[in-house]
Structure 1
Amino acid sequence: MQDVLADVDAWVARGDSVALATVVETRRSAPRPAGTKMAVNARGEVSGGVSGGCVEGAVVTIAEDVLAGGEPQLLHFGIADEEAWDVGLPCGGEISVWVERYEP
């Protein structure tokens, strides 16, 4: 997480808008623990990861929406969620991810 925050600080210092995604809940065999963070800036750069690669693409898409003025969102991915299988969450776990605009 330290690297993510360092990247966020650097991006903000150069004037970039940043969205922050945080794993807020896990169930069963989740790929990353609660508290794990991923940041996305307005240039499309990504730092960190919330699922070890399984759902990052879907989270980046929502982060881009948030950066474009959309509302913060709580995302849920799990074995009962068709979208989770589509984006590749095969571990049998569930994660909830909060995506918001970072305000320093």
Structure 2
Amino acid sequence: MIRDDNEAILNQAALWRDAGQSVALAHVIATWGSAPRPVGSLMAVSASGAMAGSVSGGCVEGAVVMEAGKVLADGEPRFLSFGISNEMAWEVGLACGGKLEVYVEPIQ
């Protein structure tokens, strides 16, 4: 299933690029404990702020979108790490606790 999701996300990113927009691609590269999305999940973010796909949810997703904007502004990829105690998990969108790492890069 993730393969089909990722194909649709990459197709949308290609459409944005074909329309002349810059695009950043976020990849879930590692998880520990519970995580909303598995390793390999993708999210594309266009320069206009449109999104396709998901890497987590809640505040984590918002933080990834903000970092994607920075990636598009300076062209430098980012390695992001999110982790939370079970007590704070609901507040930041990692409902079951756990940790995840996300790599965000501009795509050409």
TM-score (norm 1): 0.87
CA distance in 2: counterparts of 1:86 and 1:12, whole angstroms: 35
Q: Which runs of 5+ in 2 are unaligned?
A: 1-5
Q: How many residues align?
A: 100
Question: Offset at 1:90?
Answer: 2.5
Q: Which secondary structure state, in structure 2, belongs to the residue aligned with residue 62 of structure 1?
A: helix
CA distance in 1: counterparts of 2:11 and 2:24, whole angstroms: 14
Residue 3, structure 1, aligned to residue 8, structure 2: yes
Q: After superposition, what is the alpha-carbon deviation per residue over 1:49-85, rounded to whole angstroms, capped at 9, x for unaligned?
A: 001x2311000000001101152111111125xxx77
**For residues 71-90 of structure 1, what are the structure 2 equivalents within 5 Å?**
71-80=76-85, 87-90=92-95
**For residues 1-104 of structure 1, what are the structure 2 equivalents within 5 Å?**
1-51=6-56, 53-54=57-58, 55-80=60-85, 87-103=92-108
Instruction: Single out whichever of 10-19 and 69-78 deviates more from structure 2.
Output: 69-78
Q: Which runs of 5+ in 1 are unaligned?
A: none
Rate the CA distance shift 1:70–1:9 in 2: closer, same or farther, 3 A: closer
Q: Runs of 4+ in structure 1 displaced over 2 angstroms?
A: 84-88
TM-score (norm 2): 0.84
Q: Which secondary structure state, in structure 1, belongs to the residue aligned with residue 26 of structure 2?
A: strand
